[in-house]
Amino acid sequence: MTAKSRNLSIAKRGLLSFETIMWAFTRLSALGMYALIVFGLIGALVMGARNNMNFADVMRWAFIPNVTHVENTALPDTTPWAAPLWKLTASALLIIAVGHGVHGLVVIADDYISTARGRQIVRIISGVMILSMIGIGLYLIWTS
Amino acid sequence: MGLNRNVSLMTALRYKGQGPFLTYILHRIGGLGMAVFISIHLLASFLGGSGGRFVNNIYENWVFQIFIFFCILFHAINGLRITILDLFPKLILYHRQAIMIEWVAFIAVYGFSVFAIIRTALGG
């Protein structure tokens, strides 16, 4: 079977519509989060997680490398865990995760809300949610 | 009409979607679970006080940890499968095999996590 020729431009194939861009964003942000989680995992092992934490504690740290996530472990000193590097990593993870997650909620809502007006309201709520969750999350990361 | 699908609830529940449908619905449950509970966790930590402390104590309970770890790990591992198959569409022919591999990976990682959570809950 020969490959189908693609005579349509990217724009005409609809690949530049908002929904298609968000489809790609959902997949690429998943890979981005994996990279940041693996980075947090390696960092935890370098900082001596093996002797003072269990597997679940390490995972909790990797999902959001915020120092409050390891304060209940047997770590003798959590100072390195509160370094700016980890606050930056956690901030990046938070921003990507909120975008990914809130768009996911919009996708689910669209399965149940089909009117144009309803979908517009969902998008306004999602915008407010993205901004407020990123704001609250950044505040928590940088003040903890 | 968005909600009118001409399918009764019982028919929907008996839908024979099998393995791929199970991962689809668990992906949704995991994603929704994370969105709802991590939002509440953020708000509770932000508001603080006795109310916030109360909510975060629930989150630190081992039963809740087992639930939220299921949501996160299933969503993450299933999401990786979806991402790989979508970025390399030729692999979609093998999506059932991919789901089997996914379950092996999930059971290994989730099993370790649940073991660690329960052992800590029982006093290490």
Q: Return per-residue pLDDT of chain A as tens, 144 residues.
A: 566 666 777 677 777 888 889 999 999 999 999 999 999 999 999 988 788 888 888 888 999 998 888 887 878 888 888 899 999 999 999 999 999 999 999 999 998 888 999 999 999 999 999 999 999 999 999 998
R_g of chain A computed on alpha carbons = 20
Q: What is the pLDDT of residue A3?
A: 64
- What is the pLDDT averaged over residues B7-20? 72
| pLDDT of B4 over the 90 cut | no
Which of A55, A114, A133 is closest, CB to CB, to B2?
A114
- How high is the ipTM of this complex? 0.85
Question: Is there a contact between B100 and B23 (Cβ–Cβ < 8 Å)?
Answer: no
Q: Structure tokens of A5?
A: 């020729």
Residue B116, classified by CB atoms within 10 Å of its CB into exposed (0-12), middle (13-18) or buried (19+), is: buried
Q: Calculate mean pLDDT across residues B3-9.
A: 67
Which amino acid does the sequence have at B4? N
- Which residues, numbered 63 to 92 in chain B, qualify as contacts with chain A under a Cβ-Cβ cut-off of 8 Å? 65, 69, 72-73, 76, 79-80, 82-83, 86-87
Nearest to B110 by CA among B48, B58, B66, B50: B66
Using a CB-CB cut-off of 8 Å, the residues of chain B touching A29 are none
